[in-house]
Amino acid sequence: MQDERLRRFAALWSRAVHPVASTPLTRAEFERFLVPLAARLRDALHARTFDPAPGAEVGAALVRGHCTDPAILPPVLGAVDAYLLLYCPPDAVPADECRARCTRLQHAVAAGFAAELRERALAEQEAISRAALAARAETEQALHTSEERFRAVFEGAAIGVGIADVDGHITDVNEALCRMFGSIDRPVAGRNVGELVHPDDSPEVWGLYAELVRGDRDHYRVEKPYYRGDGSVLWTDLTVSLLRDATGRPQYQLALMEDITERRELHERLRHQATHDDLTGLPNRTLFFERLGRTLDPGGPLGPDSHFGLCYLDLDGFKAVNDSLGHAVGDQLLVAVAERLRACATGPDELVARLGGDEFVALTTGPTAQRDVTALARRMLAALADPVHLDGRHLSVRASIGIVDGRPGEADAAEVLRSADITMYRAKAAGGNRYELADADSDARAIARHDLTNCLPGALENGEFFIEYQPLVRLSDGTVRGAEALVRWLHPVHGVLGPDQFIPLAESTGLIVPLGRWVLEEAARQARAWRSDGRCRVPLRVNVNLSPSQLRYPALVSDIVAVLDDAGLDPSALCLEVTENALIGADEEQLRPLRQLADLGVDIALDDFGTGYSNLSYLRRLPVSTLKLDRSFTRGMQRAPADPVDVKIVEGIVSLAHTLDLSVTVEGVETGTQADHLRILGCETAQGWYYARPGPPERLHTLSLADAAS
């Protein structure tokens, strides 16, 4: 089916391109020629790790297949844009990513086409140059023969050729050069090279020319623009060589010109597409970071004594617009906001860009940037003050802005954006619809960390923590074997926080011990409730994570025994998960508490197995009964066919675990295909979004069994 869709794409591609292709192939032959090229584009589009390089190879292959007319490129790219995604859509790639990949493949095809065409032109230039030099050598032996040969090459060349003396007087040009310039009223021959100045000439062009006519260099090559007879601009790839007389003195200059106007215009169009936001037309993240990088470079155009100012703007409550009115209205609102923000950048040194979503940035530079950036922020807030009228609705727009200013060289682009982003969130936390200035004397990240740290003791006392449970499913029969207890913090300001946001803080403050005991008590009571409600055909087990700090707590064993006794729970109903890095390399003294718990009947699981610097010989001496395989090893099994490398790795780990009498649990299972692979490989249990996301205990047996991988 895929091969048939590929052939249909190649047929449509051939139908669009063949009429304008200067190729000796018939339509059917040309279609067969395009099939492997279409396959390369499809494979690049479907690749797990996207690489646009095959697009460049396809562009080069078209030129090598005698498609050398530049006019062929628009239908080539147009067919790819219109039909590649339609007939060869990848299954596991989001639509936006598909479109982005297709666009980048078009860019690569154009670049490869232009590069190969350029190489052909250079080869022709080289042949002409060699012929010219050969003609000069033969002139000394047989002037009349060499003159005829040179004239034949000169007149018949497809690229422009001109000859001038060392004073710059143009003595002769060929027909191709005349066509390039289109100068009927004012021919190129007879003019002086010095008259052909263009405002866009690079600074070194005329310096190279002066060196050549002095005899200090024999040739140079540049891209140079000229004015045609009608006032339009002709862009050329110009190579100028010095011809010397028998004594070595400069006598003539030979210019070879390739018309690259269309290629340059195509490059500019592609460059614009790559550096501007499709929705709003504003400069995008790529162009903004290029500009910011040049601004922050102490050796850049601004110089170390100049200043810059940056505004990081995020719309307040934009998610509510998308959720309530839909993304189409949200996009219209973003376009209207972009137009208002664009109008705020009134100075030549001011730039407004869209980073993505509802995030915009504005950059200003110059000696007064510190003052100007605040004025720019006020203009942007004022511009958004009036409601936006969309489809009969009046949408109020509010925004929070973080401002950073400084000198080049004081910070890099990532640091500046991070500071502005954090400052913007400070403006949001202060009520929004305002701007805040970055505080150079404090680290905003440390402040946020400090705030959460201060809140932790009160959060435990106030009952702000709760536990969600993610089912552990037996792969052999799909039944729920137990659940992992995952603690959450319902923060009054920041909302629900995951353990990665506060567990490190609890460890650093010592609060992890009382918090860990609370989690263990709640999980044990819940496990007892599950065993008592009569719904379970087999006893359920609850998994609880232990941090490294808890492992070092002297009363760990007695606390766990007391919790089990209070809950009336058998030790076999509890599994303690310890990260691999916390156990590998531990001495016997450090392992004693876990051995005591294992002797009591508590299961010990080695969590995140494979992510640390594992010494597999340690597995034999660890008091563990279960390996929890990290999700990174099984992502390649989410779709069929599975990644053979991942399969082999997991197969080896399972074999090792079973040899050591250990069971294997896999976390992060997101598709049914992945679950089937793991069951076949012998893994005992699994958890992940394919079965259920973490949730309240009453939903333990509610399994979605729906693919969750994007």
Query: Which residue numbers in the chain have pLDDT < 70?
Result: 1-2, 131-132, 134-156, 183-186, 302-304, 440-448, 450, 534-538, 584-585, 611-617, 710
Asked whether residue 504 is domain-assigned, the answer is: no
Q: Is residue 143 part of a domain?
A: no
pLDDT of the residue at 153: 62
b/e sequence 573-596, b meaning 16+ C-beta within 10 Å = bbbbbbbbebbbebeeeebebbeb
- Last residue of some domain: 438, 466, 499? 438
Q: Supply the CATH number for residue 627's domain.
A: 3.20.20.450
Return the CATH number at 180: 3.30.450.20
Q: What is the pLDDT of residues 201-247, one digit of tens each?
A: 887 888 888 888 888 898 989 888 888 877 788 888 889 998 888 88
Q: Are residues 580 and 688 in the same domain?
A: yes
Same domain, 626 and 681: yes
541 and 663 in a single domain? The answer is yes
| Same-domain status, 312 and 390 | yes
Same domain, 663 and 541: yes
Burial bucket for residue 57 (CB in 10 Å: 0-12, 13-18, 19+): middle
Does 283 share its domain with 423? yes
For residue range 347-365, list pLDDT tens digits in order.
788 899 999 889 999 999 9
Q: How many CB atoms lie within 10 A of CB 148?
A: 11
Question: For the domain that residue 57 is a member of, what is the CATH number?
Answer: 1.10.490
Phi, psi of 706 (to 5 degrees): -125, 135
Beta-sheet strand order (sheet of 233-244): 170-173, 160-165, 250-259, 233-244, 219-227
Do 306 and 366 touch, CB atoms closer than 8 A? yes
**667 and 580, same structural domain?**
yes
Give the pLDDT confidence score for residue 183 in this predicted structure.
61
What is the Cα–Cα distance from 120 to 75, expressed in whole angstroms? 21
Residue 47 vs residues 17, 51, 380, 572: alpha-carbon distances, Å: 26, 8, 42, 46
| Other beta carbons less than 10 A from residue 214's beta carbon | 11
Tens of pLDDT, residue by residue over 169-182, are 988 888 888 888 87
pLDDT digits (tens, 9 = 90+) for 575-609: 999 887 777 667 788 889 889 988 999 999 988 88
User: 662: number of CA atoms within 13 Å, CB side?
Assistant: 25
309 and 233 in a common domain = no
pTM: 0.43
Given 438, 472, 488, the domain boundary residue is: 438
Same domain, 171 and 78: no
Per residue in 453-498, pLDDT (tens digit) is 888 888 888 989 999 999 999 999 989 999 999 999 999 888 998 8
Which phi and psi angles does 299 have, rounded to 5°?
-95, 10
Give the CATH number for residue 296: 3.30.70.270
β-pairing, 233-244 vs 160-165, is unpaired
Portion of the chain with pLDDT greater than 90, in percent:
24
Quote the pLDDT of residue 381: 93
- Confidence at residue 299, expressed as pLDDT on a 0 to 100 scale: 75
Q: Which residue, 438, 473, 489, sits at the end of a domain?
A: 438
- Domain of 191 in residue numbering reads as 157-265
The answer to the question of residue 475 being in a domain is no
Which pLDDT does position 257 carry in this prediction? Answer: 87
Structural domains counted in the chain: 4
Q: Looking at residue 380, what is its pLDDT?
A: 93
Residue 592 lies in a domain: yes
Quote the DSSP letter at residue 84: I
Q: Please tell me whether residues 119 and 232 are part of one structural domain.
A: no
d(CA 212, CA 240): 8
In a domain, 469, yes or no: no
Q: Is residue 196 part of a domain?
A: yes
364 in the same domain as 303: yes
Q: Do 655 and 569 have their domain in common?
A: yes
